[in-house]
Structure formats: C-alpha cells, structure tokens
Amino acid sequence: MNPKNEGGAAATTLRLTAARPEDVAHAAALLRAGELVAMPTETVYGLAANALDPHAVASIFTAKRRPPDNPLIVHIAAPEDIAPLVAAYPPAAQKLAAAFWPGPLTVILPKSALVPDLVSAGLPTVALRIPAHPAARALLRAAGVPLAAPSANRSGSPSPTTAAHVLADLDGRLSAILDGGECSVGVESTVVTLAEGPPCLLRPGGIPPEALRAVLGELAVSPAVTHALQAGETAQSPGMKYKHYAPQAELTLLTGSREAFVTYLKAHACAEDGVLCFDEDFDGLWRRFSYGSVDDPAAQAQQLFARLRELDAQGLTRVFCHTPRQEGVGLAVYNRLLRAAGFRELAVDEAAPAPQKT
C-alpha cells in the first residue's frame, strides 16, 4: 500500500542497501539530481539533500514539516571540504576536527556566501559535521556535494535509529532510503558553537563534554541543556525552542536509587502505567521498557529512541522513567528524556532521617 503525499498523489520510497556499492551510487545520483535520500549515520538517520541546491533544501523542510527558522547541519566528506563553506576556521575548530572527525560532533562557524540562507535559516553561521558511518562517508564521496541533513523523523517524533523508523514517519515523502542497519550511537551529535565568544555546548550528544574539555580547555554549557527556556529568553540554537518529542503518555522522570524508584512506583503506579527503566531495575509488575544497564550510558543512548517509539505504540497514558546519570553520553540521554517529559522530574530518594534527639 502506498501512502499519499500532501498533494494526494501516491509515492514510493525506493529501498536501497548501504552494503551494495551500486545502491550507494544510485543514492548519490538521486542527491545530485536534487532529490531527498535518507542516509544512515552513526548517530541517527539523516534526511539528506544537496546543501548547495536551495530547491532541494526547501524540500527537506516540507517533507519533515520542519519550522523554516530551524537551520540544518551540513555533512561533509573530509576536512578539505570545510574551507569553502566557512568565513573563518579558528584554531579551536581545527583542534576539534582533528580530535573528533569523523564522528558525532557538529561545530558551528561563521558561514561563507556559498551556504544558502535556507540551510542556515537566515543565521550568519553554518553547522558542520563529518559523520563516521562508512555508508554516509561513501555516499558523501559519491555525491561530491555537501549534504544538508536533519534527523529523518517527522518534526516532533523521536529521531530514527533504523530504516523502519524513517519509513514509519516519512514513507512516500522522500525518493529513497539507504538502509545501513541500526545506528550505533543512537542519540544525535553534540553541537558546539565557536561562532562567537568562548566555545559553548548547545546540545549534548555522542561526544561527551568531558572529551571536548580535554581538547578545548574551556567549554561553557548552555543552560538550555538541562533547563527549560524562560519566556522571552532567546534560543542560542533555534532547535532549543521547539517542543521536541513528547510522548502521548505523560512522562515523569524519577531520580534516585533503584530502591527509592521501586518504592515510589509501589506507592503511586498502577498496572496500566508504563515504566522506562534500567535492565537491573526489576522484573514483573507494570509495563516495563528497559533502556540499557544503569552503568552503561552508551547502551542507554543506543536504545532510547527505539524505546520511546515503542511506548507511543502501546497507547499508554502514564509512564515513569528512572533518570539516567548525567555522565559521559548519559548527559545527552538525560537531556532528551527531560525534554520528552516536559521537564517533569521528581527526586525520589528518601531524605536522610532526622538525627535522634538525645
């Protein structure tokens, strides 16, 4: 069955396989012809178009119903591709590129005139990334142009970490998908701006802040990483101001030990509630969705978006989530969950008992 386009015409998304060189070549030809292709990256799938073709870039915004003032990341194949796209390439950016590219890091720099205003949503800056996924790199090399690509979800859904997730949201709204299996990192890239002032983390992601600090020395962290923007506050990155994925169920983060988490659930949860928890939390009771081991933030990151999609598929009305530690890539996991929960977080550890009066 073919889904319908906005205009009502039936459209089919061609399924291509990343392991087949002729399929990569086919995807690259489609991109050069101005078409949209979903590509695997190590973080999440991207909805790619030729970044230098404003018409192709415009179709990204239409396909995923993205607000036009939210700029896109430009993916490139190699460090040689940076210079034509930027107005400045400061030493800090060169250090980050040497340390983390190819990989899950996006760096924001002043843009050159070559970058269409549609890509940067009118900002004077451009977000750049060299992805590590072999299929993304092969596709970039074969296409021979930089690729603008946001996450390949419908705006407001969890980012896609499998080809099936992309098709669930966008089938019929893009020309082809290059299936490269499951994404290994599972959360989006870390976004750092070097466009003005000292380096600042705008979005936590696959590269943890500790690793960036080891290379940069100083790194500010935008308050928007762990706090809601206040009314009237300007977003440093337009993506911060949009409501991100919010499940149909009311999601609450419960922060505390395993014992405190289970005690809270016994007192407050009912059999119909969903519980998003760690592998070691418990079996039985409630409807349990495990997102990895408590000590393994990389596993949590890899599984998080798939679990969130499963929660939505169950039609739950209330979900309690055991809050991850904010260490390493765990900060990105926490940031995505906090936004999914609309910043609803409860501390459940018992207060230390009051000292006995003697």
What does 120 bind: ligand TXA, Mg ion, none (CB cut-off 5 to 8 Å by kind)? ligand TXA
Residue with tokens 């089919």: 12
| Size, binding site for Mg ion by CB under 5 A | 1
Report in angstroms how near the CB of residue 202 gets to ligand TXA at its nearest.
6
Q: Could you give the CA distance from residue 204 to residue 293 in angstroms, rounded to a whole number?
A: 20
C-alpha distances (whole Å) from 46 to each of 129, 148, 169, 326, 352 are: 12, 9, 13, 26, 47
Q: Is 300 in the site for ligand TXA (CB under 6 A)?
A: no
The single residue among 150, 158, 160, 199 that binds ligand TXA, judged by CB under 6 A, is 150
The beta-strand segments (E) located in the chain are 14-17, 37-39, 46-50, 73-75, 105-110, 125-129, 147-148, 176-179, 190-193, 200-203, 220-221, 250-255, 274-277, 287-290, 318-322, 345-347
The single residue among 101, 115, 129, 261 that binds ligand TXA, judged by CB under 6 A, is 129
* HSE (side-chain half, CA atoms, 13 Å) at 269: 26
Using CB atoms within 10 Å of the CB of residue 10, give its burial: 0 to 12 exposed, 13 to 18 middle, 19+ buried: exposed
- Which residues are CB-contacts of 95 (< 8 A; sequence separation ≥ 6)? 215, 216
Q: Is 222 in the site for Mg ion (CB under 5 A)?
A: no
Report in angstroms how near the CB of residue 129 gets to ligand TXA at its nearest.
6
C-alpha distances (whole Å) from 79 to each of 100, 133, 180, 262 are: 11, 16, 24, 49
**3-class secondary structure, 5:** coil
The single residue among 18, 56, 191, 192 that binds ligand TXA, judged by CB under 6 A, is 191
206-245 residues in contact with ligand TXA (CB under 6 A) are 237-239
- Which residues are CB-contacts of 247 (< 8 A; sequence separation ≥ 6)? 308, 311, 312, 316, 319, 340
Q: Is 127 in the site for ligand TXA (CB under 6 A)?
A: yes
**CB nearer ligand TXA, residue 79 or residue 256:** 79
**CB nearer ligand TXA, residue 189 or residue 323:** 189
Instruction: Measure CA of the first residue to CA of the last residue in the chain; give whole Å.
Output: 76
61-120 residues in contact with ligand TXA (CB under 6 A) are 70-73, 104, 106, 108, 120
Q: Tell me if 287 sits within 8 A of 273, measured CB to CB.
A: yes
Report in angstroms how near the CB of residue 148 gets to ligand TXA at its nearest.
9
Q: Report angle CA 75, 13, 121 to the nearest 5 degrees.
A: 35
The binding track of 144-163 with respect to Mg ion, each residue x by CB under 5 A or -, is -------x------------
Q: Token digits for 216?
A: 């940069």
Residue 169: CB atoms within 10 Å: 24
**CB nearer Mg ion, residue 151 or residue 252:** 151
Label the pairing between strands 318-322 and 274-277.
parallel
**CB nearer ligand TXA, residue 26 or residue 154:** 154
What does 63 bind: Mg ion, ligand TXA, none (CB cut-off 5 to 8 Å by kind)? none
| Size, binding site for ligand TXA by CB under 6 A | 28
Q: Is 161 in the site for ligand TXA (CB under 6 A)?
A: no
What does 130 bind: ligand TXA, Mg ion, none (CB cut-off 5 to 8 Å by kind)? none
User: Quick one: which of 63, 348, 107 has its CA closest to 207?
Assistant: 107
Report in angstroms how near the CB of residue 85 gets to ligand TXA at its nearest.
11
Report in angstroms how near the CB of residue 191 gets to ligand TXA at its nearest.
5
What does 277 bind: Mg ion, ligand TXA, none (CB cut-off 5 to 8 Å by kind)? none
Q: Give the footprint of Mg ion on this chain (CB under 5 A).
A: 151
Q: Give the footprint of ligand TXA on this chain (CB under 6 A).
A: 41, 43-44, 46, 70-73, 104, 106, 108, 120, 123, 125-127, 129, 149-151, 188-189, 191, 202-203, 237-239
